[in-house]
Structure formats: C-alpha cells, structure tokens
Structure 1
Amino acid sequence: MIYVGGVPFSTGSDDSSSSQGNDILMALMEHPALVSASSSFSAVQERKFSLSNDSHLVRTRQIKWVYIFQKEYATVDPSLVDLVGTDEATTCVGLIVRNPKSGMISVAHMDSPRIVEVGLTQMLSSVLDQNSDTILDVHLIGGFNDVSHQHENGVTESHEKLEGYSFPLCSKIVEILGKSINKFNIQTLHVLGYNTRQDSEGNPYPIFNGFLVETATGSIFPASFDGTTRCPDELVRRIRVTASFEDPSCKGRLLETYDTQSDKFVIAPCAWTKRQVHIALSLQNLSDSEILHMCSTSPFAEAPDFVDNQRRQWEYVLEHPDWRETFPSKQPRIFERTADGSWVRHPVRPRGSTFVYAK
C-alpha cells in the first residue's frame, strides 16, 4: 500500500490490468507533495564522494560506507554504517526503503522490471520489524526521459507504445509497492522528467546519476563516486553483474553482496561462460562509439569512464577465462572492514588444505 505524506494514496481506479502501474505512476508524478520534494532535491548540490589525496571533498577513511553496483542491493544497520549509496544510473532506478523506527535501510540499484517483485522481498527481509503497522519511508531516484512524446512531468500520453527503459521500470516499482500488504510512504520521486536535462545537441540525460543516504538521519543527497569509493572488489562485482544474466539462480533477483549482521562483503561465486569470454574477445577492439551503442541502454547519457570500465572487464575475463581462478574452490570472496574504514580481502581455505590467499 502506498502513502504520500502519511496519507493513503489512491488513483481512484480499481483497474487490476497491467496498466495499473502506469496509472499509479502518472498520478504520483502529479502529486503536489512529490512535485515539491523533487524540485527541492534538484536544487541540492551533488556530493562527490572520494578518498583520493587530492580531493577537497569527502576523503576521510573514518567514514564507514557501503557502495552498491547495478543489480545489487544492501541492507545496512546505522550502528555499523554511516553512508550507503550508488551511482552510474542512467535508465536504472535507485530504490531506498527505510524503517523509521529501527533505522534499518535497504538500497537497491534496479535495472529491469523483471527483478522488482522478488527484489523488494529481498530488501524487506531485513528492514521489516514485528510491527506490521510500521509505515516504511521510500525514495525513488533515477531514470530519465528516454521515451518519446512525454508530457512535461515525464510520462507519456499513451500507454500503447511505451519506449525506452526508465518508464516501465518506474511503473513496475510503484505497481509492486501498491499491491504490497506493507505500507510505503513515498517521500521522493525524482525520476523521469524530473531527473532529465538536455545537452547542447538536445540529447536527454539524467540530472543525477546517483545518491547517498546518511544512515543516522535517513537524509538523501545526490552523489557521485569514483574508483576509490566504488569498493570493495569493484572489477569482479562489475563482471558478476554481466555474468548473472546467464545464471539461472540469479534470474529475477537482486545480487547480494553485503552481509548486514557482520558488516562484511561476501561476493558469491559467479561463472562466466566460454560464450562470455568469446564476446569479450569480439568486443575489445571496437571503437568507443561502437561500445557505447552496443553495451549501453543510453549511449548519450553515460559517464566518461563507461567505456574504460567495459574494457577493463573484458581484459580481466580474457586474462582469467576460467572463473575458478577468481573463486578458488568455488568459495566466495570475503572482505572485512579495517579499523580505518577500508577493506581487506579475507583468506580463503580450499577444501582439505591450509589457508591460502586468492590472487
């Protein structure tokens, strides 16, 4: 059930067809409270989160944070984590669910309508408490106008020929929230038209590609990250996102990476196939423009390091065609937080042998 401003929200329609999510989304996009909240969010200066020595912004390692990539989610305890966030979202949408009583926060980087229903269940597993009357705070940030013939508020005039990726994803999220027996108070809906601007050539792209959440207060800020803060195990986690599309066990699910109770990252084994190695070999010599158009849902909206990140993944897969080199004995890659807030790889013990460190 959806609430806005603590009040139950209804579109006034009993339609149970597949267009229900579209109707809910269109009505929410016009709600005065959410229009105002989105306008306020747009006016907030983006925070550049970095630990580089030459950064004049956030660079202290005393801050404990959790970063999630595309298709990942993490639930964090505010007593263990100060910040949680994501970026690199173009047509993807960040979903934040917070229990205002316990302070527990779950964040997901959703990239497809197919993972929304099970993904929300995964997120709620560590956020819900015994009190079924708890109204959970919800924020949706991301996606942009990658569809044609929109109204000013970023939705289309007709449901018949929806194009692009952002609208169907946003529609599915609010549809599942609306159908749930749990209560969700939507506080931020900074998506679609509210998160769109144009470059000098008229190409649309997102105003913000990411955000961070201050866990102590639940405050949300637009944010971007860099290589020093997209960690731990940045490259393997990127590859796991791609490899998961051919893994039946990952179908319709968000990827789990962070263990809430132990404050550790546990990267479960993932196998890249010979087909994926062949694809990496065939793509590595493409031009930057070709890579953007073949590998992105929004080639005009990607960050400057998108192509480089793609190339680094392919190079790794070609250097390690056997995934078991990365996951010896098919064991997960575990990272523990150190006293200064950084991450260290935990040793793995192959079955029947002494401790060794993976490469």
Structure 2
Amino acid sequence: MIYVGEVPFSTDSWSSSQGSESLVALMEHPFLVSASSSFKDIPERKFSVSEESGSERSTQSRCVYIFQREYATVDPTRVDLVGTDEATTCVGLVIRNRRSGMTSVAHMDSPNVVDIGLTQMLSLVVDHNFNAELDVHLIGGFEDASPQHADGGFRSKSHKNLDGYSFPLCTKIVETLQKRREKFHIQTLHVLGHNTRWDSEGNAYPIFNGLLVETSTGSILPASFDRTSRCPDEIVRRIRVTTSFKDPSWKGRLLETYNTRTDRFVIAPCSWTISQLHIALKLQHLPDSEILLTCSTSPSAEGPDFVDNLRRQGDYLIQHPDWRNTFPMKQPRVFERTAGGGWTRC
C-alpha cells in the first residue's frame, strides 16, 4: 500500500491497479514534484575514502556500499552511511523503518528482480504484523526512450509507447509496492523526467547517478563514489553481477553481500566459464566506443570510468581463469570492518 503526504494513494482511473497508471499519477503528484525539486537542489556529495581519511568525521564513519543488483539492510547502530551509484537506467531504492531506523538499499537493474528483491529487502526491516511505517525513496533512471519519444519532459499521454529500460523498471517497483500489505510512504520519486537533463543536441542524461543515506536521520542526498569507496572486493563483486545472470540460484533475486547482524561483507562464491573468459579476451581488443555499445543499456550516459571498469574485470578473469582460485574450497570471501571504518579480508 502506497502513501503520499501521509495519505493513502489512489488514482481515479479505472486501471488504478496498473503500475504504469499509478507511476504517471505519482510523477505528477504535487507533494512528490516538490520533493524532487528540493532533492535536485541538494549538492551532490562526492564520497572518497582517500580524500576524507584525514577528517575526524570520516575516519569514524562506517559506510556500506552496494553495486548493481546488490542490496544491503543496515542497522543504524552499526552503520552511519549506506549508498550506491553508477546508475543510469537502474534505480536506487531505499526503504527505512521510521521506528527502528533499519534501512535497506537496493540497486535494481531489471523488473525481474523486483518481486523477490522487495521481499529480501523487507525481511529485516518489518515485523511479522506488517505494522511498520516505511519511508521510501526512488532515485535513478531517466528518460532513455528512443529519440522520437523524447520531448524534454515526462509525457503522461504517451507513456505506453516509451521503449527504454527505466520506465518498465519504475513501473514494476510502483506496482509491487502498491500490491503489498506494508505501508510505504513515498518521500522521494526522483526518477524518469525528474532525473533527466538534455544537452544542446537533445541527448538525455540522468541528473544524478547515485545516493547516500544517513542512517541515523534517514536523510537522503545525491552522491557519487570513487574507486576507494566502492569496497570491499570491488572487482570480484562486479564480476559476480555479470555471472549471476546465468546462475539459476540467483534468478529473480538481488545479490546478498552484507551481513546485517555481524557487520561483515560475505561474498558468496560465483563461477565463470571458459566462454566468459573468451568474451573477456575479445572485449580487451575492442575500442572503447564498441565496448560501450556492446555492454551498456545507455552508452551515451555512462560515467567516464565505465569502460575502464570493464577492462579491469576482463584483466582479472584473464589472470584468474579458474574461479576456484578466487573462492578456494567454494567458500565465500569474508571482510570485517577495521577500527578506522574500512574493510579487511578475514
């Protein structure tokens, strides 16, 4: 059940049960339009462990970072900040229990992971009686439809014709929130047209690609991270996102990485095949432009390090062709937090 401005949300349309109709109405809701405008005015925080390691505050900050298709539920008594970035057609979803402060953040990349993914996110956020009041924030995605559909704004009249990746994902999230029994208070809906900017040639780009949650207050701000803060186990986790698409055990699920109760990262084993190694070798010989067109859902909107990240993943696979060397005895890679807030492998 969705609430906006503390009031149950509904539409007058006969098709109010359909996610697309509800998404259109939510995008035009005055409360959420105002919230998105306010969010747009917040300066983006550029999060860097290396740059902030000298400040007294940052050395004490305990952060959890999640990659694409991952999620993490954090306890505010253990974690100060939780965030994600590198989202173009993906959506960052935040769900926070108002009473306990328990906060779950997911980086959703497909409608296929929404149903089970929401159940995963809520497992440690709500009680069994479904009485919790939950604040919800959606940030990411943009108007990535074909040029003939883009007109500089969110078009409620033609939404059924949009053929990008962002709209179906946002539709599915809204539809699923609407159907569930929990009380979801949508506070931020900075997606699609609200999160789109255009250049002089009419090309669309997301305004923000990431978010950061301050767990003690529930405050949300736009954020970007550098390589020092996308940790721990950056490359292996990136590779696991790719290999999970062909792993039936992860079908329809978000990737679990962070253990809420122990404040540890537990990277479950993943395997890669000779075929994937050959693909990595082939990509290493392609120009950047072709890698973008081959590997991205939004080639013109990717960050400057997108191709470099893919090349580093390829280098790792080439140097470690047998996945069992990365996961000896098929055991997970476990990382515990250091006194300074960083991570070290157990």
Q: What amino acid is the match of 2:226?
A: D
Q: Distance between the aligned counterparts of 1:180 and 1:36, measured in 2?
A: 26
Picking from 23, 26, 30, the partner of 1:25 is 23
> Are positions 1:341 and 2:338 aligned together?
no
Equivalent in the alignment of 1:283: 283
Distance 1:95 1:135, change over 3 A: same
Distance 1:58 1:92, change over 3 A: farther
Q: Distance between the aligned counterparts of 1:77 and 1:21, measured in 2?
A: 31
The number of residue pairs the alignment matches comes to: 344
Equivalent in the alignment of 2:233: 233
5 Å matches for 1:156-175? 157-175=157-175
> Are positions 1:317 and 2:308 aligned together?
no
5 Å matches for 1:191-206? 191-206=191-206
TM (normalized to structure 1)? 0.92
Picking from 79, 82, 89, the partner of 2:80 is 82
Q: CA deviation at 1:258?
A: 0.1
TM (normalized to structure 2)? 0.95
Q: Larger RCO: Structure 1 or Structure 2 (Cα < 8 Å, ≥ 6 residues apart)? A: 2
Give the match's secondary structure for 2:299.
coil
Q: Distance between the aligned counterparts of 1:344 and 1:85, measured in 2?
A: 19
5 Å matches for 1:1-359? 1-15=1-15, 20-53=18-51, 60-148=58-146, 149-150=149-150, 153-155=153-155, 157-346=157-346
User: Between Structure 1 and Structure 2, which shows a larger proportion of helix residues?
Assistant: 2
Where has structure 1 moved over 6 Å in runs of 4 or more?
54-59
Q: Distance between the aligned counterparts of 1:225 and 1:212, measured in 2?
A: 10
Query: Residue deviations 1:109-128, cap 9 Å, x none?
Result: 00000000100000000100
Q: Which runs of 5+ in 1 are unaligned?
A: 347-359
Q: Distance between the aligned counterparts of 1:87 and 1:261, measured in 2?
A: 24
Distance 1:160 1:14, change over 3 A: closer
Q: CA deviation at 1:281?
A: 1.2
Q: What amino acid is the match of 1:119?
A: G
Q: Distance between the aligned counterparts of 1:138 and 1:287, measured in 2?
A: 40
Distance 1:176 1:151, change over 3 A: farther
Q: Which runs of 5+ in 2 are unaligned?
A: none
The answer on whether the counterparts of 2:66 and 2:72 sit within 8 Å (CA) in structure 1 is: yes
- Cα RMSD of the aligned pairs, angstroms, is 1.8
Q: What amino acid is the match of 1:60?
A: S
The answer on whether the counterparts of 2:52 and 2:58 sit within 8 Å (CA) in structure 1 is: no
Q: Distance between the aligned counterparts of 2:323 and 2:306, measured in 1?
A: 23
